[in-house]
Chains A and B, each alone.
Chain A
Amino acid sequence: MKWFLLVVVLVGYVAADDDIVCDSLARIKVKNQWNRAYSTGKDREDFAQALWRAIFAIAPEARKLFTRVRGDDVTTPEFKAHSERVLAGLDVAINLLDQQEALDVALAHLAKQHDARNIPDSYFDVFLKALQSVLPAQLGRCYGPLTWKACFGVIARGIRG
């Protein structure tokens, strides 16, 4: 009986995980957590650095997409500026999660900027994975990986077009 209950609970847990969609509550949560993680000034620089280090640790070959902005060395001013530009773009998207129409236009704009760069779809998964490893370090326990996965999916799909 105990085992049965445990199984039921586990199944319920797994099902609940799959059920998480990027609805309006999830969007508020992501916005809130992002604003805390994104932070300001020097902290933001450190956050950006950590994220890009994670990205290149997962996919070292991705560096070659960033040769123009010194992807070989994430500590260069060129790459720092670039990494903050990318996060600023992501910041626009996340902050517009609660304004669907404007979000769609913003994602279309980002899609256009990414089109010419021939980014493999798998790199969006790499980005999410890196984000998932850096965010808990920024936020501690108050962090919802599945909510992030769902809402980042909305943004990634929009950029991939």
Chain B
Amino acid sequence: LGRPGGSPVSTTTRRVSPCKMLRLALLCFGLVACVRASDIDHCCSAADVRIVQTQWKTLWKDTESSKVKAGVGKLLLLKLVEKHPEAAAVFKDVNIATPKSPEFTGHAMRVMNGLDMAINLLSDPDALDRALDHLSDQHLARAGVKKEYFRTFGEILNAGLPKVLDKYNEMSWKSCLRGVLRKIATKLP
């Protein structure tokens, strides 16, 4: 009883499957295109950019924002080193061993300003591309910096930003930062 009943079903499945395959293929293609599309097009839409820029801006409102910025920058980098202890060697020259040191404070500010520049250039993709390319070269010149640090850094940002930003649209941030971090890490091992 099972066999005759089973065969039409399997024929139907077989007849449907090329269509399904095509759909799957299209979906995959679409996803790949989305992932591969240079940095920010439909994966970080104009609306996403506006959301990210507006939400990010609140962090820099006050005159004393340098202390907030440096503090947040330090936390991000320390978290990174906590997850990749071997990365501490990369930050040896900026005295990560003493987080309160002026060297590390200055470095945290530079990192935050790099991020700030990228976010503010999201609305000008061509200029952003050149800025990120430059950052990419600067990271390539530092021995020991790896691609995976940027993946982790993205995760740290995604976990940390909602703690300091009152408004945080995760999808917009993720889609825009993914392109930024990937582009900076593109030349790294």
Contact = CB atoms under 8 A, between A and B. Distances in A.
A95 B117 CA distance: 15
Interface stretch (A74-82, A123-131, A145-153): A74-82
> What are the 6 tightest A-B residue pairs by CB atom distance, in nearest-first order?
A77-B126, A95-B66, A81-B130, A80-B127, A81-B131, A101-B102
Contacts of B120: 40-41, 44-45, 84
B65 interface: yes
Give the secondary structure class of B's interface.
Answer: helix
Contacts of A42: 123-124
Given A92-B106, A102-B102, A81 B60 contact: no
Given A45-B124, A81-B121, A84-B121, A96 B109 contact: yes
A85 interface: yes
Interface of A: 28, 31-32, 35, 40-42, 44-45, 77-78, 80-82, 84-85, 88-89, 91-92, 95-96, 98-99, 101-106, 109
B66 A96 contact: yes
A92 B113 contact: yes
Contacts of B60: 35, 40
B45 interface: no
The A contact surface, by secondary structure, is: helix
B129 A28 contact: no
A102 B102 CA distance: 4
A45 B53 CA distance: 14
A103 B109 CA distance: 11
B135 to A, nearest CB: 9
A78 B132 CA distance: 11
Contact of A28 (B63, B106, B123): B63
Nearest to B69: A95
A90 B92 CA distance: 24
Contact of A84 (B53, B117, B122): B117
Contacts of B123: 41-42, 45
